[in-house]
Homo-oligomer: A and B are copies of this chain.
Amino acid sequence: MTAADLARYLSKYDLVATLDLIDAALQTRTQEQFQRLMGLAGGLVPIENSHASVADLDEHGAIERTRHQININFPTGWLQAYRQQRLITEDPVAKHLFVSDRPLIWGQIRQSNREAADRRFYGRAAEFGLRDGFSFGARFVRSRSASFFSCAGAGLTSDRRHITIIQYMVPHLHSALAKVHTSLLKSQPLLTPREIEVLNWAKFGKTNWDISVQMGISERAVKYHLANAMFKLHAGNRSQAVAVALSQGLIDWG
């Protein structure tokens, strides 16, 4: 992937559209905006359906549980089968994820890989019309989660033009997903307002007594909120509660 590729395979209109797409990705904050963003991408390369998910990772970097899913025309039958049969364990794409910081073209994996298990996997996917497409997965910089998304469409990756656009576009889709993730986390309130308030004081090193004065409640009430927050965040003490809340984006850095 070089600048020469850009000039060779892309028209001026393509370049304008790609730059504009990157700019739109920068502005993306909400799930709806992300869907519009994918619509924009679909106008540029033949994406028929796409599926984006954000997942938490365990300490080894493996996918622990899925947090959000943004599905655009992706065959629900496939998603069900994928989840129910835990196909992620045999997904040749998932195996390669997080290893490379470039999108993975299904066709390339298929060619380089002739194992029976992989052929079976692609056979199943093809039953749902998923033949041509790419996947991308990358960790978020400051949290133990990652984005993981796939786009499919006839002829999507058989053209150097498409592949070039995808290469340049994908990292910004990932950043957009990161921002969507943050906004979604805040919109589905795991913690109550009081719990957040207490954590915000605890992060500054305030004692329970300090916080009780600041909030105009008893010291016991502070301990109550903190205990609830610790329970919800699976934290053993206030330090861990603050660390988890920060890394999840549940409290800010003010």
Contacts and interface: CB of A to CB of B under 8 A. Distances in A.
Interface of A: 1, 3, 6-7, 10, 12-13, 15-20, 22-23, 26, 59, 142-144, 168, 171, 202-205, 207, 235-243, 246-247, 249, 253-254
Contacts of A246: 243, 246-247
Contacts of A238: 239
Given A239-B239, A246-B247, 4 more contacts: A6-B16, A23-B168, A144-B254, A243-B243
* Total copies of this chain within the assembly: 2
B242 A19 contact: no
Chain A binding surface, main DSSP class: helix
A235 B243 CA distance: 14
Contact of A254 (B1, B12, B59): B59
A237 B19 contact: no
A249 B13 CA distance: 40
B19 A15 contact: yes
Contact of A15 (B12, B205, B239, B249): B12
A236 B203 CA distance: 10
Contacts of A241: 205
A193 B12 CA distance: 51
The 8 closest A-B CB pairs, nearest first, are A205-B240, A205-B236, A15-B15, A3-B20, A203-B243, A239-B239, A6-B16, A12-B12
Contacts of A143: 253
Contacts of A171: 26
Contacts of A7: 12-13, 16
A253 to B, nearest CB: 5
A195 to B, nearest CB: 15
